[in-house]
Amino acid sequence: MSEKEKMINGEEYFPQDIELAQERIKAKTICAKYNSLLPEQKDEKYKILKSLLGKIGDDCIVEQNFFCDYGYNIEFDGFVYINHNSVFLDCAKISIGHGTFIGPNCGFYTPTHPLEYEKRITGIESAKPITIGKGVWIGGNVTILPGVKIGDRAVIGAGSVVTKDIPSDVVAVGNPCKIIKEIS
């Protein structure tokens, strides 16, 4: 099994594998091109995102700067708005539902590293998917960690660090992010 197959399957893999390293260089090159376009170059921006991402809705808006590791593990289901300076470390799938708004400076981090020092310094890692439901609002400067699921219509307050699943129809804030109220 290749390192890429291991990564996709959620197993431990070596990210410095030649195939994976080349795919990251390709994605980062595409992101650099995307980030250099002028705001009015909407058609060119969409074509680049369509070539980079695993799935993108017709009306998605991704403000520059946008950064990702691979691109093909990112799926936007329908309209999604992503504000400036987003980072998607997409070693595992990152799925974002229709009607979701994401504030500036947000990070979606799927890779995880061994806790044991001896194993960690070998460079091995694994990744867990992130799933964001439909109609979610994520405030600015939010960090979402590996394996997190956020339910439909949830609101995540600015500056939060989401370490565990958040259900639908709640407001959650903080570090670590916790539910503060239900949305009726």
Instruction: Say if CB 63 and CB 43 are below 8 A apart.
Output: no
Helix (H, G, I), strand (E, B) or coil at 42: helix
Give the Cα separation of 98 and 107 in Å (integer). Answer: 19
**Number of residues in the chain:** 184
State the catalytic residues: 113
Instruction: Say if CB 125 and CB 105 are below 8 A apart.
Output: no
Assigned token pair, 178: 């916790």
Give the Cα separation of 80 and 95 in Å (integer). Answer: 11
Give the Cα separation of 55 and 21 in Å (integer). Answer: 22
| The amino acid at 75 | E
